[in-house]
């Protein structure tokens, strides 16, 4: 049956030629992308180019599927085949499988080129390969399969002109063009027109031109898998529904199974979670909070706290989003109300004292007021959510301590301006943190055990993603995977040079670089988080660029002074 369908497909030039072009362009684009990699060693630029295939694939796979099933439908063979004993549906399923082979071949070809690149360029970081395999599978294979089922379904029920109009509309909603078009009206009114794209926006990458964070890679979060699987299962359910099965029980069971699995994935998608959108959508890192602060004109407050937090004990669970339990030890309290700043997207579910007694609290935007009836020594706050800029997802984590992903004492103006927040440096405090995340988490705090960190700082930072630790006897260094990072990585030699410069510039600085944990952050992250390329704390130093030892030495000395002067 497969052979016959393949023969039919190959002998239909209006279908086989576009599919052949698709496969050839898969090879061609990968070769072109590969050559550009060898010119500038930018692995993401390579992957970005090869990912254009998912868009081409989506269009051609839909076309091929529609035309193939349309040909069967209008060949006047349907009635004849239906008269054969139970083979019509089998034949359709075989055709569907045959057409699904093409996105799979596209996926395999693209992966093959990545493997070649991986092995020939001496890459060692497996996490990149895992990441790119998942990304290709999600966008090239699952995207292609969605198009194939969509094509098959529409060919069975809808006329050509209507089917292609629907497809063009879906493609428009999936594309970054619609995000761009909806941006203006959404910004100038209180209506979020982007919601029209809600069920289509993440089937393919929205914007392939911008990789926001080197340590994050391409967006491939759980909710995107949920959306893709939802569409695959939902369309499959509709397709099976159109089948005429003599075994009605089988049809009911198949439809129910698909419907249940689609519902699970839809629920997963509706649950959402932390994501990172680089496009021009209202949900993007650039606009999401800008729009929030524009539309929710909450009073901007700036008031220092009349109490001190002497210690933070944090339990940070990161999966779809951040689920946190933060216990703060308090001192020096004078008034009845404790004021905190916590980013508005983190929804507070529970506030208790040291004994677990609930405390009265009120929330307004980024601000929380807690009014205990009696004196307390600790406050525990449970909350969950995510920021569009500082993500915490199954794919990566970027939580800088000068962004209130944890309650900060006092009121701060956090107002966002196109993807950037005001940088808040809280007083130096003791932190004991447990982080449970799907990826390994790195921090400027000292790692004291599995998932646990401890130390004193005015800015605890937690990062996870495409990192790898550099082997060195003298230094503790963690870089963004060297294969991914275009700029230089932190090396022991570089740090030796920096140490020399520090000793030359300030003999009494007391800075011994071997005592610190070194973390190389992406430039975007550092700019957005700290507005500086160096973040100093007692246990760890974060750098975003390693171009000049002298400039780095100056920045470290300067940042240390600021740190030492912090309360």
Residues that bind other proteins (CB under 8 A): 1, 3-4, 7-8, 11-13, 71-72, 75-77, 79-85, 87, 91, 244, 246
Closer CB to other proteins, 1 or 31, in the complex: 1
Closer CB to other proteins, 158 or 245, in the complex: 245
Residues 133, 508: Cα–Cα separation, whole Å: 50
133: left (phi over 0), alpha (psi -120 to 50) or beta: alpha
Residues 43, 21: Cα–Cα separation, whole Å: 25
Closer CB to other proteins, 75 or 350, in the complex: 75
CA distances from 20 to 62, 108, 248, 286 (A): 14, 15, 38, 40
From the CB of 12, what's the least distance to other proteins, in Å?
A: 5
From the CB of 145, what's the least distance to other proteins, in Å?
A: 25
Residues 318, 521: Cα–Cα separation, whole Å: 20
397: left (phi over 0), alpha (psi -120 to 50) or beta: beta
From the CB of 242, what's the least distance to other proteins, in Å?
A: 15
From the CB of 13, what's the least distance to other proteins, in Å?
A: 8
Residues 204, 213: Cα–Cα separation, whole Å: 18
Closer CB to other proteins, 79 or 473, in the complex: 79
Q: Is 453 helix (H, G, I), strand (E, B) or coil?
A: strand
Residues 133, 519: Cα–Cα separation, whole Å: 26
From the CB of 236, what's the least distance to other proteins, in Å?
A: 22
Residues 171, 119: Cα–Cα separation, whole Å: 36
From the CB of 259, what's the least distance to other proteins, in Å?
A: 23
Residues 403, 460: Cα–Cα separation, whole Å: 10
From the CB of 16, what's the least distance to other proteins, in Å?
A: 10
From the CB of 72, what's the least distance to other proteins, in Å?
A: 8
From the CB of 74, what's the least distance to other proteins, in Å?
A: 8
Residues 325, 123: Cα–Cα separation, whole Å: 39
Closer CB to other proteins, 79 or 299, in the complex: 79
Question: CA 358, 362, 363, 369 torsion: positive or negative?
Answer: negative
Backbone angles phi, psi at 448, to 5 degrees: -105, -10
DSSP-derived secondary structure letter, 142:
I
CA distances from 344 to 20, 246, 359, 366, 383 (A): 51, 56, 19, 4, 11
Closer CB to other proteins, 89 or 388, in the complex: 89
Closer CB to other proteins, 91 or 284, in the complex: 91
Residues 541, 172: Cα–Cα separation, whole Å: 45
Using CB atoms within 10 Å of the CB of residue 80, give its burial: 0 to 12 exposed, 13 to 18 middle, 19+ buried.
exposed
Closer CB to other proteins, 248 or 507, in the complex: 248
Question: CA 95, 97, 100, 105 torsion: positive or negative?
Answer: negative
From the CB of 257, what's the least distance to other proteins, in Å?
A: 23
Closer CB to other proteins, 80 or 242, in the complex: 80
Closer CB to other proteins, 209 or 246, in the complex: 246
């Amino acid at each position: 049956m497969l052979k016959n369908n393949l023969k039919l497909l190959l002998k239909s030039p209006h279908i086989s030629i576009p599919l052949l072009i698709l496969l050839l362009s898969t090879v061609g684009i990968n070769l072109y992308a590969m050559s550009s990699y060898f010119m500038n060693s930018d692995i993401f630029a390579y992957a970005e180019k090869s990912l254009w295939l998912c868009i081409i694939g989506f269009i051609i796979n839909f076309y091929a599927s529609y035309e193939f099933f349309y040909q069967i439908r209008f060949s006047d063979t349907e009635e004849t085949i239906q008269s054969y004993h139970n083979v019509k549906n089998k034949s359709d399923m075989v055709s569907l499988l045959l057409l699904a082979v093409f996105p799979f071949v596209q996926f395999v070809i693209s992966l093959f080129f990545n493997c070649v690149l991986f092995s020939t360029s001496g890459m060692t970081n497996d996490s990149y390969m895992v990441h790119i395999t998942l990304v290709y599978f999600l966008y090239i294979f699952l995207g292609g399969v969605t198009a194939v089922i969509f094509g098959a379904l529409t060919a069975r029920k809808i006329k050509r002109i209507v089917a292609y109009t629907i497809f063009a509309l879906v493609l428009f909603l999936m594309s970054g063009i619609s995000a761009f078009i909806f941006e203006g009206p959404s910004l100038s009114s209180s209506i979020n027109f982007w919601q029209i794209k809600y069920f289509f926006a993440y089937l393919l990458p929205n914007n392939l031109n911008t990789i926001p964070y080197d340590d994050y890679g391409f967006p491939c979060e759980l909710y995107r898998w949920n959306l893709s699987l939802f569409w695959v299962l939902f369309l499959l359910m509709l397709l099976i529904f159109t089948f005429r099965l003599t075994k009605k029980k089988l049809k009911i069971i198949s439809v129910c199974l698909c419907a249940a699995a689609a519902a699970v994935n839809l629920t997963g998608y509706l649950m959402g979670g932390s994501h990172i959108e680089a496009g021009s959508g209202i949900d993007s890192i650039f606009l999401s909070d800008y729009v929030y602060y524009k539309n929710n004109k909450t009073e901007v407050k700036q008031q220092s706290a009349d109490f001190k937090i002497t210690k933070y004990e944090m339990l940070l669970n990161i999966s779809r989003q951040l689920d946190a339990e933060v216990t703060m030890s308090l001192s020096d309290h004078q008034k009845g109300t404790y004021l905190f700043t916590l980013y508005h997207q983190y929804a507070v579910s529970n506030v208790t004292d040291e004994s677990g007694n609930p405390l009265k609290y009120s929330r307004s935007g980024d601000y929380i007021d807690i009014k205990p009836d009696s004196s307390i020594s600790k406050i525990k706050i449970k909350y969950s959510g995510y920021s569009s800029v500082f993500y915490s997802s199954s794919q990566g984590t970027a939580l800088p301590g000068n962004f209130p992903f944890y309650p900060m004492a006092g009121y701060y103006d956090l107002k966002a301006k196109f993807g950037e927040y005001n940088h808040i440096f809280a007083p130096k405090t003791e932190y004991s943190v447990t982080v449970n995340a799907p990826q390994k988490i790195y921090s400027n705090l000292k790692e004291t055990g599995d998932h646990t960190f401890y130390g004193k700082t005015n800015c605890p930072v937690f990062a996870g993603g495409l990192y790898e630790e550099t082997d060195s006897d003298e230094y503790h260094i963690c870089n963004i995977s060297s294969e991914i990072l275009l700029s230089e990585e932190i090396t022991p030699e570089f740090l030796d040079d920096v140490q020399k410069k520090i000793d030359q510039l300030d003999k009494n600085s007391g800075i011994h670089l071997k005592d610190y944990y070194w973390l190389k952050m992406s430039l975007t992250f550092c700019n957005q988080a700290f507005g500086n390329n160096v973040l100093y704390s007692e246990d760890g130093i974060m750098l975003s660029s390693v171009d000049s030892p002298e400039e780095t030495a100056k920045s470290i000395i300067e940042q240390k002074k600021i740190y030492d002067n912090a309360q």
